[in-house]
Amino acid sequence: MNYLYQASALMSDTCPQLSAAYGKLAKSIGKKAVLRMEPAIKRTLCVRCGVLLNPVTTADIHDFRHKQLCYVQVTCKLCGYSKRFYNSKNHQLWLDNPSSVVERIEFEPSSSSS
């Protein structure tokens, strides 16, 4: 998945369609292997077409601020899909929440005595 994401990042400037194919392939491999993507990486891929969302070439980014509502709207130039990411002060991702950790295993190097 990491290799496909890197290939998608390299091809997003020159050939967005190939970048979209690599992004979709990375998502499908993750689903088949039951692996989760990091939220920061997942947000850089378009939900509909899979292209890597670069602010200049493949995405339009608009920052919207009002009294209580603040969000960033990202629109894909390839397929036209738009997604909003809200910026509330007290918002916390589930992975950053301490209750999301079920078990923590720490490995210590084995000390071999000669």
Provide the number of structural domains found in the chain.
1
* Res 21: pLDDT: 93
The domain containing residue 75 runs over which residues?
Answer: 1-100
Does 65 map to a domain? yes
In a domain, residue 112? The reply is no
Lowest-pLDDT range of 7-16, 21-30, 101-110: 101-110
The residue type of 54 is: N
Residue 91 inside a domain? The answer is yes
Asked whether residue 106 is assigned to any structural domain, the reply reads no
Q: Looking at residue 36, what is its pLDDT? A: 83
Tens-digit pLDDT profile for residues 67-97: 778 888 999 999 999 998 888 777 777 777 7
Look at residue 109 and tell me if it is in a domain.
no
In the block, tokens 């909003």 appear at 84
pLDDT digits (tens, 9 = 90+) for 1-11: 889 999 999 99
Closest CA to 83 of 98, 68, 71: 71
Share of residues in the chain with pLDDT > 70 (%) = 96
Q: What is the model's pLDDT at position 51?
A: 92
Task: Decide: residue 16, CB within 10 A, 0-12 exposed, 13-18 middle, 19+ buried.
Answer: buried
Q: Give the per-residue pLDDT at 37.
A: 85
